[in-house]
Amino acid sequence: MSFEEALEGYEQYEHALRSAASILVQSRIDLDHLCQMNCRAFSPGQFERYSRLKLVLIRNLRHPYDENNLPNLHE
């Protein structure tokens, strides 16, 4: 389910959720955005970074963690 689908019926809270989003909510928003991107024109390096970021976001959604221990996007 996308972030927009999850908001159906709760649109009045969208701004608050986007403004003060937890790591979990922000990861869902960011993953939705990445999935909508057309990556066909990416260079190999750009595609590698794109794929790595998607993996980090998916990991955030599957295994929530302590917000004091933020993920390292440069791994």
Q: What are the Cα distances from residue 21, in Å, to 5, 16, 25, 27, 72?
A: 17, 8, 5, 9, 19
What residues does each domain of the chain span?
Answer: 3-62
pLDDT band at 72 (very low <50, low <70, confident <90, very high): low
Query: pLDDT by residue (tens digit) across 12-32?
Result: 888 887 777 678 888 888 899
Burial class for 45, CB neighbours closer than 10 Å (0-12, 13-18, 19+): exposed
What pLDDT does 69 receive? 59
Q: What is the tally of helices (H) and strands (E) in the chain?
A: 4, 0
* pLDDT attached to residue 65: 61
Distance between first and last Cα of the chain = 28
